[in-house]
Amino acid sequence: MAEQTSDTTAPTSLWVERTGTRRYTGRSSRGAEVLIGSEGVEGVFTPGELLKIALAACSGMSSDFPLSRRLGDNYDATIRVSGAADRENEVYPQLDEVMELDLSELDADAQERLVALVERSVDKVCTVGRTLKAGTKVTLTVEREA
């Protein structure tokens, strides 16, 4: 378990372990696990699916406070995310999110204000979305055992 200091918490360690041909288990130092593999393997997420889920979850979590303040703590939300891969370049050129909310209890003006607030909140604090939009430097180091 990560040791806490007086003013910060140690960062969560993340890694994957190979469990078979094109199959991995993603793990965190907090005890979380996720099964990862090829698209044809049942019961696993592909890495691209995890990227999309991370984006949708980040948008949901980034909008949770303003939505719960306006709709109550027990509001329902589903965030769907899609986007086809460009296999020639191995990128997702576009990811589309749709947040499904029941706003029927609000009048049209209140709905518009809340939607604008949700969009601002996600744009401001969703780290995953901000990173994808900005691009990021990724490095890989291969450690060799002798």
pLDDT tens-digit readout, 10-49 = 899 999 999 999 999 999 999 999 999 999 999 999 999 9
Cα–Cα distance measured from residue 112 to residue 108, given in angstroms and rounded to the nearest whole number? 6
φ and ψ of 9, to 5 deg: -110, 140
Question: Which residue is it, tokens 């209140």?
Answer: 110
Model-level pTM greater than 0.95? no
pLDDT digits (tens, 9 = 90+) for 103-131: 999 999 999 999 999 999 999 999 999 99
- Quickly tell me which residue has 């204000």 as its tokens: 113
Buried b (16+ CB within 10 A) or exposed e, 54-70: bbbebbbbbbeeebeeb
Token couple for 39: 């698209």
